[in-house]
Amino acid sequence: MHTTTTSPDALRVEMVERIRKAGHAQRGEVERVLRDTPRHEFVPDAELAVAYDPWQAVVTHRFEDGRSLSCASAPWLVAAMLDQLDVQPGNRILEIGAGTGYNACLLAQLTGRADLVTTIDIDPDVTAKASGALAATGYGDVHVITGDGGLGYPDHAPYDRMIATVSPWDIPAAWWQQLAPGGRLVAPLRWRGQGRSVAFTYTDGRLVSDSLHLCGFVYLQGVEDEGELSGPVTADELVTLHWDRDQAVEIDALRGVLDQPRVTAWSGITIASNESHDGLWLRLTVTDPRVCRIKVHADVPPEVCDPIGGWWRMALVDGDTLIYLTARRLETGDDVCWELGAIGHGPAAAKLTNYLCDEIRLWGPERNQRTPSLIVHPAGTPDSELAGPAIEKTHSRFVLTYDDVAL
């Protein structure tokens, strides 16, 4: 039940104002539909203040082990992805991941006809609740389909716009086939352990990005999402490594690596307490095929593993050596900042920690001002047609470049 006395309309106005101040909902039509749509009716079990918190996702379904199965994305991220999608009146739209039905409701308003929107989800409980919420808010003509989103929905193809609100590891073959030439696809993709919402235009048989946003999403469930591997590096399995299947990682060579002597190096590059360092990780996905992700349970003491704070942490593996990004607090008068560095274990730890600090110094002067372009080619595209080294997926070849030149 809702316990706050502030009206939904007032909270919605405040939510949109805060989102716009943060740089999202820049398209007038996106701002309009956010202002007009009663989000609380799609998350009826959430307090009003939570339903209209710009930064908070609302989990609506969980796996038996407690992991999130489905949720209503944080409103700022909904706005950012709708900005990326650039829906035009009359567009035919496919959404992968029905969630609560809220995003499908926004899409229906943006295209102007609810029957032009199809939303698909693998979980029948999710689709049943989304369908009910859409009908209750006047958008019952949206097509709500129970099925594997990785297979798309060919009955209503081709689509002018496709948006995934679950995170795929690859662009499934069906999405390539069902997206109209010149159409746009927005998907929270994963490569080298990190995730970005990427906006593409489908042109000349390839997908070319024009924006990337840092994000995290529930993973796509189904037959098309089996590319990320993981394994423990500690006996208690509280520290795990996550990598792509095209990477040369032998997890058996890394088990127990944290028991080896620790090597620490510092870069001299500092960031403010509220400053992102994620551009460093993104840059390394362009320049170094060894970069991946380490996950550290909260019970692990820092003397065992001490990565920089955050949900996802950058690591680098070379054979039987593991290094990861770390930070230390520095205080200079009234100012507090964090110096970035590297911690390593294994035979090549000294060499690789110094290497990572050199990369931090290269990234530091421009910080997050430079964003690479991601071009996705169909699998089988010859190397001669690529602008740089490829990250190999099942149906696609990802090529990241800066200023059209791979580093």
Active site residues: 70
- Residue 340: which residues within 8 A CB-CB, separation 6 or more? 266, 267, 269, 270, 271, 277, 280, 308, 325, 326, 327, 357, 360
The encoded tokens of residue 193 equal 């352990």
What's the rounded Cα separation, in Å, for the pair 109 and 10?
A: 21
186 has which bridge partners? 163, 199
Distance of CA 70 to the CA centre of its chain: 15
What's the rounded Cα separation, in Å, for the pair 319 and 55?
A: 39
Q: Which of 146, 145, 197 is nearest to 168 (CA)?
A: 197
Q: Which of 62, 54, 50, 58 is nearest to 35 (CA)?
A: 54
The encoded tokens of residue 339 equal 């110096």
How does DSSP assign 315-350, residue by residue?
EEEETTEEEEEEEEEEEETTEEEEEEEEEEESTTHH
The encoded tokens of residue 204 equal 């000349």
- Residue 135: which residues within 8 A CB-CB, separation 6 or more? none
The encoded tokens of residue 192 equal 């080298």
Q: How many CB atoms lie within 10 A of CB 247?
A: 16
Q: Greatest CA separation found in the chain?
A: 64
How does DSSP assign 256-309, residue by residue?
TGGGSPEEEEEEEEEEETT---HHHHHHHHHH-TTEEEEEE-TTS-TTT--PPS
- Cα-only R_g, the chain: 22
How does DSSP assign 61-98, residue by residue?
EE-TTS-EEEEEPPHHHHHHHHHHH---TT--EEEE--
Distance of CA 125 to the CA centre of its chain: 24
Answer yes or no: are the C-beta atoms of 152 and 177 closer than 8 Å.
Answer: yes
